[in-house]
Each structure stands twice: as C-alpha cells, then as structure tokens.
C-alpha cells in the first residue's frame, strides 16, 4: 500500500485515479456524514450546488429525506439542517437520506468520486477507515483534505496523519514504505504532536475559530473525539455514500 495525502481538492491530481480515495472534512462535513450513517441514515448524497440538491431531493418522498445546506459555517435558509453533527440524532435521521451541500467537504468527495473505493473519514470514525484499509490492502490510497476555499486546513491534515499513523502501527509497513509523498510524513508528525489534545488543535485552526465565533463550541468538542463511531461511509454510486458497520 502506498499512501498519498493532498491538503486540498485543488492540489489533488486530475490525470490519474487511485484504487482508494478518502475525503476528510473534520470540521464538519465528514464528521456529520459518519454521524448520520452511524445513527441509521439510509444514505448521504452530496452536492456542490444547492439548486441541484433541491431539484433532485424534490423527487424523493418528503418523509424519507433531510436537506442539509451550509455556507460559511451557517445553515442555508429554507434547509432542514445546517452542518452540525449534533443535530443528527437517531430519532431524526433513521431511515432517511441526507441530501447535503457544504462549502468544501462535499466538493472534496466529488473530486474523488471516480476512484474504485471512495470513503469519508473524520476523527470520529478513523478506526473503521483504517480497518478497511488493512483488510482490503488497496495498492494506492489518496487522502484528500477539504481545506477551506482552496487553502490548507490544520484539522484535515491532522486527521489524515491519524489514519496514516494508525496504518503504520497496525501493519508491517514502516512510515517510509507507506509514504507516497512528503505530506504523509508531515501529517504524521502533526498528528503525533497533537494526538492527546485534538480539541486544542481544533481551537487553534482557522476554521475552528470561525465556528467558535458562530457559537459552535460543542461541535468542536464532538468532532475532536477519536474512534467513537464504528461506521464506514463508502460510496455506492457516484455521490451517494452508505454506512458499512
């Protein structure tokens, strides 16, 4: 297995496709997706465009859908939900499909949707993602951070590092054998430094600060937890993820 980390969708190559690609948006899209699927959501369908989301979800039975729209950290008016994982209770999401569009996370997933295996990861479901990699042993794995409007996000790279760190610990591969690019080495170093204080890292991150200004302290707390959800969000058809438990 060779692992490559790309900090943003914009930095991700477009002329090749890996066997397995993983989108990461710790704050908060992939954390929300894992939460919905762990709580019994039927599927998560991602859109970069809000109008497309509204048009497509309109064809879905009303009682079986939830529409989530986030821009700039806030809920889009008229949508059922914004992008807080804390709103996604089993009572609300069970048996329903989440149609979701967020500023960066859904774009990252769309960027990698042609890979053979497409996953969504966050700290909350890191162990499930690592277990899948160890079982399937894909030859090439890309982890793509969502970033913020084209620039680097501390928390997404730290989560990519958490995945890489755990693969090294649980496989016979050394860091040198696993790393396909320099980003892997630096992501592991970042995670290693902060692994005992991920909430502190989220407070330091620029998007964490943006969310704190929007009074999302509890979201940061939730998103900083590692390995609390045993769920693997895996793409079933382009743009549609289901939860493998």
- The values of phi and psi at residue 9, to 5°, are -60, -35
Window 154 to 213, contacts with ligand 3SL (CB under 6 A): 211
- The whole-angstrom separation of Cα 197 and Cα 204 is 11
Q: State the nearest-atom distance from the C-beta of 104 to ligand 3SL, in Å.
A: 3
Q: State the nearest-atom distance from the C-beta of 152 to ligand 3SL, in Å.
A: 13
* Among 12, 45, 57, 102, interactor with ligand 3SL by CB under 6 A: 102
Length in residues, the chain: 245
- The whole-angstrom separation of Cα 150 and Cα 166 is 27
Return the beta strands (E) in the chain as ranges.
2-6, 20-24, 43-46, 65-71, 74-75, 97-101, 117-121, 140-145, 232-237, 240-244
Contact track, ligand 3SL, 31-70, x by CB under 6 A: ---------------------------------------x
Contact track, ligand 3SL, 13-32, x by CB under 6 A: ------------x-xxx---
Contact track, ligand 3SL, 121-150, x by CB under 6 A: -------------------------x----
- The whole-angstrom separation of Cα 32 and Cα 112 is 19
Identity of the residue, 42 or 87, whose beta carbon is nearer to ligand 3SL in the bound complex = 87
- The values of phi and psi at residue 15, to 5°, are -100, 5
Binding region for ligand 3SL (CB under 6 A): 25, 27-29, 70, 73, 83, 102-105, 146, 211
């Amino acid at each position: 297995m060779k692992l490559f980390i790309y900090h943003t969708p914009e930095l991700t190559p477009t002329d090749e496709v890996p066997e397995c690609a993983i989108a990461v948006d710790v704050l908060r899209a992939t954390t929300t997706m894992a939460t919905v699927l762990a709580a019994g959501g039927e599927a998560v369908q991602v859109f970069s465009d809000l109008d497309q989301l509204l048009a497509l979800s309109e064809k879905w039975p009303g009682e079986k859908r939830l529409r989530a729209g986030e821009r700039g950290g806030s809920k889009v008016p008229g949508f059922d939900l914004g992008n807080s994982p804390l709103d996604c209770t089993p009572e609300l999401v069970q048996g329903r499909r989440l149609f979701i569009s967020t500023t960066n996370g859904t774009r990252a997933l769309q960027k990698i949707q042609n890979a053979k295996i497409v996953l969504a990861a966050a700290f909350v479901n890191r162990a499930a993602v690592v277990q899948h990699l160890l079982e399937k042993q894909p030859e090439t794995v890309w982890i793509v951070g969502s970033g913020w409007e084209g620039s680097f996000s501390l928390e997404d790279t730290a989560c990519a590092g958490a995945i890489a760190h755990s693969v090294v610990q649980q496989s016979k591969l050394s860091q040198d054998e696993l790393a396909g690019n320099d980003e892997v080495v630096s992501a592991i170093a970042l995670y290693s430094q902060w692994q005992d204080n991920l909430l502190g890292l989220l407070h330091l991150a620029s998007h964490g600060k943006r969310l704190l200004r929007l009074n999302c302290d509890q979201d940061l707390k939730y998103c900083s937890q590692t390995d609390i959800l045993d769920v693997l969000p895996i793409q079933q058809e382009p743009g549609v993820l289901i939860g493998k438990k």
